[in-house]
Structure 1
Amino acid sequence: MLVAIETVFEQCSVAACQTELKPTPANQINPANPAPQVLAVATKAGKRGQTEDVLPMLDGVLAQANAPISDVSIWAFTRGPGAFSGIRIGTAVVQALSVANGVPCVGVSSLALLADTARVLHDLADGTRIAAVMDARQEQVYLGEFVIKDGQITANADGEACERLLDYQGVVNADVVVGDGANLVKFANENAQVLDVHPDAADLTRLALYQFAREGGVSAENALPVYLRNNAWKTLAEQGKKS
């Protein structure tokens, strides 16, 4: 069983799904496989109280799935980028749980999760370019650039890093734009669609399983967050930025 914890998108969300997956060579993965069987999911909107809510919600999800914590074989979490506190909470909880029952972790990009959720909800076709854009504050956004290939999202490596910081009013080149930063950037493609998607832990299970099948998991000490901004923990005054 895989259990996913999502705390980056200003929520506390926990989901459990059934899995018998083991790491598999990428060329043996069938992207057309059905979505994972989600056994239970619980989501509470808002970023306040995540620390206090996450473990009771986990207990509730395991009870609903009628499974003990010893049945968990993979822990998944959104590794960022995003709000510092949400990344820190989700990462720390999964690291501790991974140590406690000795199973691997899978850290999934929050930008990739936005793009993959759009792919599934809107049945986007192969070749569709997706820009996932999240407000990073300080007059910047987090930008992830992806393209759908063989029914799955993959990094769009057209000369730029897949995930990076971009200044407000910077230009993105995509067919579809998702995320709360979509209104803070300009579009090179005047026909680009802006889609409203809100991933939860159930969405995270799908991408985490696919990633685990391709790459395997990592140990707790290697389940690391991604902030993109190196001084994310500092106050605005310490960074010399205006609020």
Structure 2
Amino acid sequence: MDRVLTAEREADLQKLSSRLGISFNNLALLDQALTHTSYANEAHDARVQHNERLEFLGDAVLELATSTYLFKHFPQLSEGDLSKARASVVCEPALHRRAAEVSLGTFLLLGHGERLTGGAERPSILADAFEAVIGAIYLDRGFDVAREYVLDQLHEELVEVDLGENLKDYKTMFQEVVQRHPGKKAVYSLIGETGPDHAKEFRFSVSVDGKVFGEGTGRTKKAAEQNAARAALEKYNKK
């Protein structure tokens, strides 16, 4: 049985629903999408369900919606390039930006310690919650509505695919810049990893001569390295 929402919580969820542009039939789904594991663990109430299952579902919706779009709109791309494009479209920075745009963090239910340490603003938590929201939209309104919402939210990233930005190999580009100086080499280091096994997030730094030029996160080590190299390119070029 779903937990009973207070009038205040229901009003907050209606406010968020309006910001999302989605009218929910069952606000309990949206509430669950915004419930972090830390809150559920502290609640000691079986009716309080965290959002990891909805995150799992939302991730699948994101993948199918973007994969279908890329397949239909970019017939010239190979399987490998389609995979690269999808990974760059459905990435933590993009999902975090969309979550921040609707102030998703203010609606999150977090455990006491998680909130005190800035969990409401942490990119990984916000990105995961946004995926869970997409899962909730899918269950509540169906795949067609969820697909259109995903494509609308990731419009800018899809435009970048059309411009060819998403297929750039930033690691290679950064290495080429570094090698203009004899003896210089880019070194990538794993500086952290978070999340459960099914949704690991890796954080890498890239340095030259011991000086860090960029950091990046990703659901795979390769993606995190690419994002670190992308950040480093801009900084290194300004050196």
**Normalized against structure 2, the TM-score is what?**
0.25
**Normalized against structure 1, the TM-score is what?**
0.25
Larger relative strand fraction:
1
Bigger relative contact order, structure 1 or 2, given CA contacts below 8 A and separation 6+?
1
Greater radius of gyration (CA): 2
